[in-house]
Homo-oligomer: A and B are copies of this chain.
Amino acid sequence: MPDSSLLETFSNPSQQDYVIEHIADEFTSVCPVTGHPDFGAIVLRYSPDQTCVELKSLKLYYQSFRNEGIYYEAVTNLIRDDLTALMKPHWLQLITQWQGRGGIRSFVTATSGHVPEVWQRD
């Protein structure tokens, strides 16, 4: 089941504003209604304050959803909340991108904080 205690951090090595993105292409959980697996990608973007999430611990945290029955919207809000509580970043954006079910593909985008200037033009 989802286990935020797997998440670890390290100290932010810079005091300047910058943005980190981690794109996990191999996320899977289970549909709570049908019991069939859901597959998707998870895009995490954040502007760190004091700490950054350690990459391998992030992978293990994502793997803890593997056999969990949970809705798209709940996954998205839960991960956003867990990572925001962990790092207290200036800004965090969490996007889940789900492969098609019944001919419909879904995306859910959640954020905390405000978009930093460094991310406003690219």
* A interface list, Cβ under 8 A from B: 12-14, 16-26, 28, 36-37, 39, 52, 55-56, 58-59, 63, 66-67, 71-74, 76-77, 80, 93, 99-112, 114-115, 117-122
Contact = CB atoms under 8 A, between A and B. Distances in A.
A102 B21 contact: no
A14 B58 contact: no
A76 B114 CA distance: 22
Contacts of A18: 73, 76-77, 80, 108-111
Contact of A20 (B13, B80, B106): B106
Nearest to A121: B115
Contacts of A20: 72-73, 106-109
Contacts of A110: 14, 16-19, 118
